[in-house]
Amino acid sequence: MFKGLTNVAAARVWHGTMPVQYLYTAGVAGERFFQTLRRKGVFAVTTCAECQVTYLPPRLYCERCFADLSEAWAEVAPSGRVHTYTVVHEDQDGRPLDPPQVVAFVRIDGTSGGLIGRLLHLRPQDVQVEMPVDAVLAPPRRRRGSMDDIAGFAPRRVLPRRPTP
Amino acid sequence: MKRKPTRRVAVIGAGLSLFMRRALDTGKELAYYAASQALQTAGIRLKDIQAVVMATAPDAFDGVHMKGEWLLDGAGGVGKPYLRAYVGGGSGVFSIISGWMMVASGVFDLVLVVAEEKMSSCQPHPQGAFLTIFDHIIERPLGPNLLWIFSLEQQRYMAAYGIRNEDIALVSVKNKHNALAHPAAQVAAQLTVKDILDSDVVAWPVHRLMVSPISDGAAAVVLASEQVARRLSDRPIWIQGVGWCLDTSYWGNRDLAYPRYVEKAAWMAYEMAGVTEPRKQIHVAEPYDPFAYKELHHLEGLQLADRGQAPEDLARGRFDRTGELPSCPSGGLMGVGNPIAAAGLMKVCELFWQLRREAGARQVPGNPERGVAQAWGDLMQIGTVAVLGVR
Ligand SMILES: [Zn+2]
């Protein structure tokens, strides 16, 4: 049934690359999301009232019923819950990462979606599914209106403590 | 999906190359081995084939842009109607769905379906080819690694049902063991759960031995209309039903604990096949297992286990080759290897051999009359399902 193949551990090889570069636009909905993030430090979302879905990242249209959502904007606080997480030990080229990075998918409160991001200010063993977290944003003057404005997510502080006199 | 196609379609031949880490053979040559073998077992020549389907996943693996066209000659497509079937990792099973449409429609009587992948070309690691599948505005700035997404999904699956990593590691043990009986296998081994969990953590909770390998390889089948199949073959294996379905492209909007899109695809195929009680009417399963947890996830989506219960069923031997419902008797992607599109079609080849009782040392006991093969892919959002049977 099976043809014999020549299995050479070190077959002679040639190097090649596919050099191409791109300039991407954020899109109409994406641009509004990033400008809102830069100026106000909150997340812009769109809602389809009919389907009861709040899109984050925001969409210009409802993917379920094709409603136009260009006038259906709202804003939500950049906070949510750890829906799931991983501790990454290798980079994308398969090289070890030291220290390992904690990455989470965070469901954003008041939306049907979420964002992935690094988890900051906690040890891997202290992460829990469903723990509340807040986005850690770059200071307003340093924001450029891109994903880099979100440094990651950190455990929510219970109440701001008053400095003891 | 109540409508039934009027023309029946059968698989009458299958072929497979060896799966290996780095083949000297080009993708075209691998495709040629599998395709010529499928023709040979069907007892026909290339000139008898009226149209060709080629399944091959992202161009970036082989490093050849528009590689479907580049692979044309190895797939036997020169001078014929030719179609590239491409839904990422789901392509292997989607390839016979595409070929089935060509024959069921009445346009062709004999179609050759080939699947190929040569992942070893991609340097330093094929994972790099996946960086650009993530949303270029929202996700790519984080430099996501493909393994992140699977680890996040496995973690959610475990959290939702209280599943332990030991339960999932058992998939690797089973499939690598099953693959010992597969002559084309790349990573067959006799291992224990401890061996799996002692391997490096790639992205917790996923360990190295819970991930399928980088592979080169090809697979092929010959499809025939009913009239032609009865003339050419004394044991045609019928494609009783096909189904496929895509979930949203935004993976953050999906249910990570349960693959709804696999369920939808499965019911489409089951209804076409007249299957109303999958657990009784399916005798052998080849669900897609690129990661250990994925086989369990998919068995649940295929309605072959209750939600969150597949790990328990696995632990009590239900999915062993000699169990109540053999799952991945081939050894799957975890054992035979994972040349993406070819791995999906390898599962269809396995059903062909199992249902004809030609699987040799891998043969499941009894008289299996119906099997299901499933693959998964695109942006981790598609389920592709085919139900095959002896009548
Ligand atoms: Zn809607």
> Does B145 contact A91 at a Cβ distance shorter than 8 Å?
yes
Using DSSP, state whether B206 is helix, strand or coil.
Answer: strand
Contacts of B81 (CB under 8 A, 6+ apart): B50, B51, B52, B108
Q: What is the pLDDT of residues B77-106, one digit of tens each?
A: 999 999 999 999 999 999 999 999 999 999
Q: What is the pLDDT of residues B226-285, one digit of tens each?
A: 999 999 999 999 999 999 999 999 888 889 999 999 999 999 999 999 999 999 999 999
pTM given for the model: 0.93
User: B260 near B307, Cβ under 8 Å?
Assistant: no
> Does A93 contact B148 at a Cβ distance shorter than 8 Å?
no
Q: What is the ipTM of this complex?
A: 0.85
Using DSSP, state whether B188 is helix, strand or coil.
Answer: coil
Distances (CA, A) of B148 to A83, A102, B82, B345: 14, 10, 36, 26
B19: pLDDT strictly greater than 90: yes
B194 in a structural domain = no
Of the partner residues B63, B124, B141, the one whose CB lies closest to the CB of residue A148: B141
B155: pLDDT strictly greater than 60: yes
> Does B159 contact A92 at a Cβ distance shorter than 8 Å?
no
Multiple choice CATH, A27-155, 2.40.50.140, 1.10.20.10, 3.40.50.720, 3.30.390.30: 2.40.50.140
Domain residue limits at B15: 9-123+213-389
DSSP A75-141: EE-SEEEEEEEEEEEE-TTSPEEEEEEEEEEEEETTSS-EEEEEB-SS-GGG--TT-EEEEEEPPGG
B53 in a structural domain = yes
> Does B203 contact A30 at a Cβ distance shorter than 8 Å?
no
Quickly count: other Cβ atoms within 10 Å of residue A162's Cβ.
Answer: 6
Q: Quick one: tokens of B360?
A: 């040799």
Q: What residues of A are in contact with residue B30 (Cβ under 8 Å)? A: 5
Q: What is the pLDDT of residues A22-51, one digit of tens each?
A: 888 999 999 999 999 999 999 999 999 999
- Res. B130 pLDDT band, cuts 50 70 90: confident
A4: pLDDT strictly greater than 80: no
B93 in a structural domain = yes
Q: How many domains does one find in chain B?
A: 1
Radius of gyration of chain A (CA): 22
Q: Is the dihedral of CA B270, B272, B276, B280 positive or negative?
A: negative
B192 in a structural domain = no
DSSP B267-334: HHHHHHHT-S-HHHH--EEE---SBHHHHHHHHHHTTSS-TTTHHHHHHTTTTSTTSSS-B-TT-HHH
- A129 touching B (Cβ < 8 Å): yes
Using DSSP, state whether A19 is helix, strand or coil.
Answer: coil
**Strands (DSSP E) found in chain B:** 9-16, 51-55, 82-85, 110-118, 201-204, 206-207, 216-225, 237-246, 284-286, 370-377, 382-389
| pLDDT score at A7 | 57
> Does A90 contact B202 at a Cβ distance shorter than 8 Å?
yes
Domain CATH number, residue B364: 3.40.47.10
- C-alpha A92/C-alpha A159 separation (Å) is 38
Contacts of A146 (CB under 8 A, 6+ apart): A34, B141
Beta bridge partners of B239: B9, B388
- C-alpha B278/C-alpha B51 separation (Å) is 33
Q: What is the mean pLDDT of residues A102-125?
A: 95
- What phi and psi, each to the nearest 5 degrees, are found at residue B240? -85, -30
- A24 touching B (Cβ < 8 Å): yes
Q: How many residues does chain B have?
A: 391
Give kind and range of the element (H or E) at residue B232.
helix B226-232
- C-alpha B375/C-alpha B353 separation (Å) is 18
Residue for token digits 């292997």?
B92
Residue for token digits 């008898």?
B48
Greatest CA span in chain B, whole angstroms?
Answer: 58
- A31 touching B (Cβ < 8 Å): no
Q: What residues of A are in contact with residue B41 (Cβ under 8 Å)? A: 1
* B210: nearest Cα among B177, B181, B173, B180: B173
* B250: nearest Cα among A49, A130, A105: A105
Using DSSP, state whether A142 is helix, strand or coil.
Answer: helix
